[in-house]
Structure 1
Amino acid sequence: MEILTDHAKTELVSLVETTYGEAILTMQRGKEEKELVIAETGLSGVVYDSAIDYYMYDLNWTEEQFDDYWENGGEDKETDNYVDGIIDYYDDWSTWEEIA
């Protein structure tokens, strides 16, 4: 009986936003690379919608608090967290194999 162990880690290769507004994430696991469209109409909009839901509805921030956060580094932080979350999600073979 052979037991297979997976020591490969999913890593970010690139994140490109096309002129059409698509955000395409390229990930590598071992020697295999796969691409995934993570936003069809712009990454900033997807991240903004996700962040505003969390901060304003879950944490009860005011719009002013959120705008101040977003404009002072929050957008970059939330984008990094969003991409990191996707990389983490695909950091095992079962989810990795879901990508066409």
Structure 2
Amino acid sequence: MKILTDNAKTELVSLVETTYGEAILTMQRGKEEKELVIAHTGLSEVVYESSVDYYLDNLGWTQEQFDDYWENGGEDKEIDNYVDGTVDYYDDWSAWEEIA
């Protein structure tokens, strides 16, 4: 009996933000490439909303603390984490198959 294994790794190919505010993530798994729209109104806005909720609600930061963090490198860090997390999510074969 032959056991099939999926050793393919999902990798980020590109991230493009259109003039309309869409952020389109292109990922590759093996030889297959797929695109996924991860933001319709700008990636920064989407990531800001989830980040501010996390830091204020879960970590107890003030809005002023968060604004300082966001303006001093936090925005780039949070966007990188968001993109990395999305790619990691689609590193599973069943999740990969969900992308149209």
TM over 0.5: yes
Distance in 1 (alpha carbons) for counterparts of 2:16 and 2:3: 37
Alignment of 1:37 onto 2:51? no
1:12 aligned residue: 12
SS of match in other structure, 2:98: coil
1:24 aligned residue: 24
2:76 aligned residue: 76
**How far is 1:63 from its partner?**
0.7
AA matched with 1:86: T
Deviation per CA, 1:24-62, whole angstroms, max 9, x where unpaired?
000000010000000001000000001000001111100
2:96 aligned residue: 96
Q: Please report the TM-score for the alignment, with normalisation by the length of structure 2.
A: 0.98
Q: What is the identity percentage for the equivalent residue pairs of Structure 1 and Structure 2? A: 84
2:56 aligned residue: 56
AA matched with 1:75: E
Q: Please report the TM-score for the alignment, with normalisation by the length of structure 1.
A: 0.98
Distance in 1 (alpha carbons) for counterparts of 2:38 and 2:73: 21
AA matched with 1:42: G
SS of match in other structure, 2:36: strand
Q: Name stretches of at least 5 consecutive residues in structure 2 with no aligned partner.
A: none
SS of match in other structure, 1:97: helix
Distance in 2 (alpha carbons) for counterparts of 1:71 and 1:19: 23
Distance in 2 (alpha carbons) for counterparts of 1:48 and 1:64: 14
Distance in 1 (alpha carbons) for counterparts of 2:50 and 2:43: 11
AA matched with 1:11: E
Distance in 1 (alpha carbons) for counterparts of 2:66 and 2:92: 34
